[in-house]
Amino acid sequence: MAGMVVAGAVLGGAVLAGCASPADSRTEATDSPTAVTASPPAAPKKPPTMAPGPAGRTPVFERRPSGDGAGRSAERVVALTFDADMTADQGSRAASGERFDNPELIALLRRLKVPSTVFMTGRWAEEYPAQAKAIGTDPLFEIANHSYSHYAFSTPCYGLPVVEKAAMTRDVERAFAAFRKAGARNVVPYFRFPGGCYDDATLRALAPAKVTAVQWDVVSGDAFATDADAVADQVLAGVRPGSLVVMHCTRSAAPATEAAVRRIVPELRERGYRFVKVSELMEG
């Protein structure tokens, strides 16, 4: 299991200034009424995406390239990503009390001011709509697509049920619809394959969804882990400038993640790293 902005500014106004006497000022105010103008709101910034691959295949992003080709060292940035996993058939488990969310982790990221990308399944957003909206309206976060069902898009894939090729685009679109219904706004056109499993046929089949697939170069190992220090050690050993780390936002399946993040964030900051969302990492 490996898996899961807009600000508009209105600038305007006019300032009336001069060295007139009070009487002159009254006359000026009467004779020359002030005209206030405002610039139109800035257009929302579109998240960066990658161009389609050969024959229109879905492009795949794994990390920011090292350096810039001109001999300069790469910027010390890293993207922490969190998969909010819940498969389409786990509703009964949620109803019986299993927790697929992790609000304490999200609260920690807010306290530490860590920009993050949450790869969310549509089924998760349906189960926790208030949390999906809170995450998806907080400028600290962006929501990316982790499918609706969290079924495999290629096999073998950790024993997950399989999505038929003809249904892949529909599954992705259904997840985006679930985010909109929950009220999330900070949604980016990125997709993470459940389990990270894909092949060439998958990339061709998913092309109509017009998403950029996002993988990773650092595996945290937090899935089903109970040793937070081991998870933190693995991340800290693997991060390089431009790295993309995969973690989880699912208490039942990744109970040690919050404690691991408590170590990871300050230690990486001590090394000079800055945390960014995937959209910023992809800008290069």
Q: Are 145 and 191 in contact (CB under 8 A)?
A: yes
Q: Is the pLDDT of residue 263 over 60?
A: yes
Q: DSSP letters along 72-138, please?
A: PPPP-EEEEEEEE---TT-HHHHHTT-----HHHHHHHHHHT--EEEEE-HHHHHHSHHHHHHHHT-
Residue 141 CB partners (closer than 8 Å, separation 6+): 106, 109, 115, 116, 117, 118, 135, 186, 277
Amino acid identity of residue 18, one-letter, is G
Query: Which residues on neighbouring strands pair with residue 83, listed in sequence order?
Result: 119, 248
Poorest-pLDDT segment among 72-76, 112-116, 263-267: 72-76
pLDDT above 80 for 71: no
Helices and strands in the chain: count of H runs, count of E runs: 10, 9
> Which residues make beta-bridge pairs with 145?
120, 191
With a cut of 70, say whether residue 192 has pLDDT above it. yes
pLDDT in tens, 238-259: 999 999 999 999 999 999 999 9
Residues with Cβ < 8 Å from 112, sequence gap 6 or more?
261, 265
Quickly state the pLDDT bin for 74 (edges 50, 70, 90): confident
H or E stretch including 230? helix 228-238
Q: What is the mean pLDDT of residues 272-278?
A: 98
Q: What is the mean pLDDT of residues 140-155?
A: 98
Residue 30 has pLDDT above 50, yes or no: no
Token pair of 116 as six digits? 């993050």
pTM of the predicted model as reported, rounded to 2 decimal places? 0.84
Find the helix or strand (DSSP H, E) in which 257 lies: helix 257-270
Q: 16 falls in which pLDDT band (50, 70, 90)?
A: very low
- Counting Cβ atoms within 10 Å, is residue 129 exposed (0-12), middle (13-18) or buried (19+)? middle
* Nearest-angstrom CA–CA distance, 213 and 86: 19
Note the pLDDT of residue 45. Answer: 79
pLDDT at res. 24: 42
Instruction: State percent of the chain over pLDDT 70.
Output: 82
Cα separation, 217 vs 246, in Å, equals: 8
Torsion from C-alpha of 116, 158, 59, 192, nearest 10 degrees:
-30
Q: Could you read off the pLDDT of 97-131 as tens digits, one per residue?
A: 999 999 999 999 999 999 999 999 999 999 999 99
- State pLDDT tens for residues 150-176: 999 999 999 999 999 999 999 999 999
50 CB burial (10 A radius; 0-12, 13-18, 19+): middle
- The pLDDT confidence band at residue 41, using thresholds 50, 70 and 90, is low
pLDDT at 284: 72
Mean pLDDT of the chain: 87
The pLDDT value recorded for residue 21 is 37
Structure confidence at residue 38 (pLDDT): 58
